[in-house]
């Protein structure tokens, strides 16, 4: 190549790179815990201007970033006052008038769908990564998540008898609010190679004593949240009388780790499976939850 032509080609490459870098968002507001996890896993934390209160992992997200509040009680004015050039918004965010104001504000807004299947988790990762100009990295992360879950599924194929699990979201006056089909908890239980004993209903429902006794779970699954006291489900006679109660089989896991459906999901599912099926000697998730 002629020397002048080579110089011009090099200049064109540099100019193209500069334009691409300038086009990438630099002030991102991340609204949704899984979205924030994905951004940190991509190494894009420096471009995050603010997060919401569900962004509990990694801990430095809430500790070091401005907080726009709970994602279902957003103030559009508060979000826009941070001068974002990209808002990544969990589809569960609200209220609706605030979301409509954000959409109409002239700022780039990417609505990130929730979902509890492996395909939906993969799409979520890819969507967030594409929005911040990290498509190849997002594709690699999504592929890794799928591979990890497929490997776990292969390990669980040897389980002869599937554990029957009841997920209790909360206990009110001695009555459990439990997860039926179509919930994140139902998806995690199934991914961990177990059966959701409450899959005869859809969504979350409060159980009567009689219904609880009929379910006969082998294990009770609950979540812990920072600042919330743990409630002992075995103090409730109807639960104590079940196979899970007699065996003391109560599994508690961090709420965002278990139900966040982000980069740490394979680790969370593996941790649950390890506690349900100790005979498989599954490796626990590392310090980063993966």
- 153 by Cβ neighbours in 10 Å (0-12 / 13-18 / 19+) ranks as middle
Residue 146, phi-psi category: left (phi > 0), alpha (psi -120 to 50), beta (remainder): alpha
Q: What is the pLDDT of residue 21?
A: 44
Verify cis geometry, omega within 30 degrees of 0, for the bond prior to 120: no
Percent of the chain with pLDDT over 70: 89
The SS3 call for residue 143 is helix
Q: What is the pLDDT of residue 189?
A: 98
Helix, strand, coil shares, percent, the chain, to 5: 45, 15, 35
Q: What is the pLDDT of residue 209?
A: 83
Q: Which CATH superfamily is domain 3-112 in?
A: Nitrogenase molybdenum iron protein domain (3.40.50.1980)
> What are the tens digits of pLDDT across the range 68-126?
999 999 999 999 999 999 999 999 999 999 999 999 999 999 999 999 999 999 999 99
Asked if residue 6 has pLDDT above 70, the reply is no
Sheet holding 109-112, edge to edge: 48-51, 28-31, 86-90, 109-112
Q: How far apart are CA 73 and CA 91, in angstroms?
A: 13
Report DSSP state, residue 162.
P
Looking at the domain that runs over 164-280, which CATH code has it been given?
A: 3.40.50.1980
Q: Token pair of 129, please?
A: 């990564």
Per CATH, 3-112 and 164-280 having the same topology is answered yes
Which of 63-77, 154-168, 226-240 bottoms out in mean pLDDT, i.e. has the lowest?
Answer: 226-240
The counts of H helices and E strands in the chain are: 13, 10
Asked if residue 11 has pLDDT above 50, the reply is no
Q: Are 204 and 169 in contact (CB under 8 A)?
A: yes
Give the residue extent of every domain in the chain: 3-112, 164-280
The SS3 call for residue 195 is strand
> What are the tens digits of pLDDT across the range 182-231?
999 999 999 999 999 999 999 999 998 889 889 999 999 999 976 566 78
Residue located via tokens 């209903």: 201
Q: Are 111 and 89 in contact (CB under 8 A)?
A: yes
For the segment 47-74, the average pLDDT, to the nearest whole number, is 97
């Amino acid at each position: 190549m002629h020397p002048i032509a080579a110089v011009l080609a090099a200049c064109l490459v540099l100019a193209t790179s500069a334009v691409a870098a300038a086009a990438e968002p630099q002030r991102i507001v991340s609204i949704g815990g899984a979205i924030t996890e994905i951004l940190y896993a991509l190494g894009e934390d420096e471009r995050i201007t603010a997060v919401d209160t569900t962004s509990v992992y990694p801990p430095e997200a809430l500790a070091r970033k401005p907080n726009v509040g709970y994602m279902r009680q957003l103030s559009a004015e508060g979000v826009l006052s941070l001068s974002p050039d990209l808002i990544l918004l969990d589809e569960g965010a609200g209220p609706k008038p605030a979301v409509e104001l954000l959409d109409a504000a002239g700022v780039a807004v990417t609505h990130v769908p929730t979902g509890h299947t492996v395909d939906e988790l993969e799409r979520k990762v890819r969507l967030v990564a594409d929005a911040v100009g990290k498509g190849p990295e997002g594709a690699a992360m999504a592929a890794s998540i799928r591979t990890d879950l497929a490997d776990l599924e292969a390990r669980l194929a040897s389980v002869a008898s599937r554990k029957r699990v009841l997920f209790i979201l909360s206990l009110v006056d001695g009555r459990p609010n439990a997860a039926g089909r179509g919930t994140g908890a139902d998806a995690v239980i199934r991914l961990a190679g177990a059966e959701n004993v409450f899959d005869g209903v859809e969504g979350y429902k409060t159980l009567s004593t009689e219904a609880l006794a009929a379910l006969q779970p082998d294990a009770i699954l609950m979540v812990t949240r920072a600042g919330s006291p743990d409630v002992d489900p075995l103090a409730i006679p109807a639960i104590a009388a079940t196979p899970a109660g007699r065996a003391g089989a109560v599994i508690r896991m961090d709420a965002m780790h278990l139900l966040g459906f982000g980069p740490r999901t394979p680790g969370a599912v593996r941790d649950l499976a390890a506690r349900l099926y100790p005979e498989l000697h599954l490796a626990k998730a590392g310090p980063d939850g993966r």
